[in-house]
Homo-oligomer: A and B are copies of this chain.
């Protein structure tokens, strides 16, 4: 039993060591880094593609795309106009700080204001692994249901921002049961400071407040 605990400690420390290196690199370069986490299909890549398209003339955004397989997401981000590095975890359920360290060295950091990491689609594991980021961004689509903060509290309790995405579905006449006020209240019970934006990456509704927040955050180190 003791042996198992030790192994767990070693794995966490190896990740923490790289997370610390990433923090130092980002701090030296005066860059801000965010770690976006959600279930598969909540719309992370669509949010990033639209965000990059809208903000590319105002600031330099670099994206690190984490996926189990495929380069599809990095290609979408490049099409939208930002530099993107794809990490394929080949089965692993979360990004590690070492993988992010390699990716950071592939990005033209000197040209960027903000680095956004899109983690592997997984509402559970990625929130347990620090990558050296300045903050986590949780994304929840209204199609996933309004019980998620209560059932998966770890991510919501650790995130700086919650993006409630696909709010266009609530106005569409589709049969989607999602009580926005309940989710806000449940998320704030876990995390008083969390900023919450209701958005649709598809229609653009609510995105301006998110952009304003990003522009503000990207300046905290400069």
Contact = CB atoms under 8 A, between A and B. Distances in A.
Contact of A123 (B40, B91, B144, B148): B40
A158 B132 CA distance: 35
Interface in A117-155: 120-125, 128, 141, 143-145, 147-148, 150-154
Interface stretch (A27-35, A47-55, A65-73, A103-111): A65-73
Contacts of A145: 40-41
Interface string A72-105: 1000000000000000000101000000000000
13 contacts: A7-B7, A40-B152, A68-B124, A69-B151, A70-B151, A72-B147, A72-B151, A122-B125, A143-B143, A168-B174, A172-B172, A172-B173, A173-B173
Interface of A: 4, 7, 39-42, 67-70, 72, 91, 93, 120-125, 128, 141, 143-145, 147-148, 150-154, 166, 168-169, 172-176, 202-203
